[in-house]
Amino acid sequence: MKGRGLTLSEVAPLVQADLVGDGSTTITGVASLDAAGPNKLCFYASTRYRKQLLATRAGAVLIKADHVDDCPVPALVVRDPYYAYALLANELHPRDRAAPGLHPAAVVAADAVLDDGVAVGPNAVIEAKARIGRGTEIGPGSVIGKGAQIGENCWIASGVHIAAGCIVGNNAVIHSGTVIGADGFGFAPGPDGWRKVPQLGIVRIGHDVEIGANSTIDRGALDDTVIGDGCKLDNLVHIAHNCRIGAHTVMAGGSMIAGSTTIGSWCMIGGQSAITGHIEITDGVTITGMTGVTKSIAEKGTYASPLPAQPVRKWRKNTVRYLQLEEIAQRLKALEKTFSALKRRTPKDT
């Protein structure tokens, strides 16, 4: 995507940076330290990349004050180079926006409400009584269900399904293949098999939420499924019915949450983690990748359970030992019992 083009003197105040060097250099985009040319902006946030910094040909580098002496090109001195980079990358590479209006192949119900500046792509469907906020873009082939509400300045990519009655806040980004508001997994067993339990809640998504491709968020059974403001979900994330996710929590790819679980604010859930249902996780918890969470977490901190990779021969031996744990535990219990009995029979020292 073509950058806008800003001089360093214009860039610096956007991130409250102190400029060290020539402010007239024009920056047209961002790049990595070792690939950047004289009109590209980079960031330096780890000493692991000092060699690349010393050799960079970038137009400027976002950097902390402690490392300015190592920077051979103009420097933008900030407290957090990576965060400043994120802000400027969006400024220099704005997303291409579709022109407002309805594509001739779009299908929009007569009583749907579309505010000013809405763009609806080809083969998109907006059903009865749905409402789309100002400046929102609905991508090709997406479906906005009956009575659903989408906020302002959202980008709904192609092939997204937002089911009936669901609510999405302002500035949402929802990538292709995502389904919001499918029925939760609710079935009651009986003599004639499994009886479906109606899923009567909706999904409520806050403001400034991003949801990756092919993710699923199920509607509630009775209460709503709720995603808080500022949450960021990666691809292939699954959130079951009645879950509540606190503000600014992030979830990496393939992670899953079973039904009726509550997760606090500012949590970080690693990829392929699996969280059981009907538990609570407090604010500020980090769960490392591939961790299984089977009970509530009441204290802030980092939690992990996956085993590291190891040579296959060692793994096979350890697996055999694992399968013998119950037998070993029973033998140990018997030995402890025998030892206790021997101690009781042994005369005490006089």
User: What is the separation of C-alpha 30 from the centre of its chain, rounded to a whole number of angstroms?
Assistant: 23
Rounded Cα–Cα distance for residues 77 and 64 (Å): 5
Rounded Cα–Cα distance for residues 185 and 286 (Å): 27
Give the number of other CB atoms < 10 A from CB of residue 49: 16
Tell which residue, 203, 213, 256, has the closest CA to residue 234.
213
Asked whether the CA dihedral 74, 77, 82, 85 is positive or negative, the reply is negative
Rounded Cα–Cα distance for residues 277 and 259 (Å): 5
Rounded Cα–Cα distance for residues 164 and 344 (Å): 72
User: Could you tell me the two tokens for 132?
Assistant: 């789309």
Contact assessment for residue 224 and residue 243, using Cβ atoms and an 8 Å cutoff: no
Residue 93 annotated among the catalytic residues of the structure: no
Rounded Cα–Cα distance for residues 73 and 67 (Å): 12
Rounded Cα–Cα distance for residues 136 and 152 (Å): 6
User: What is the separation of C-alpha 82 from the centre of its chain, rounded to a whole number of angstroms?
Assistant: 18
Rounded Cα–Cα distance for residues 191 and 183 (Å): 23
Residues 6+ positions from 325 with CB-CB distance below 8 Å: none
Q: Is 57 exposed, middle or buried (0-12, 13-18, 19+ CB in 10 A)?
A: middle
* CA dist list (Å): 55 to 25, 33, 81, 130: 19, 8, 18, 55
* Active-site pick, 161, 207, 238, 241: 241
Q: Which residue has the tokens 């699996």?
A: 274
Enumerate the active-site residues. Answer: 241
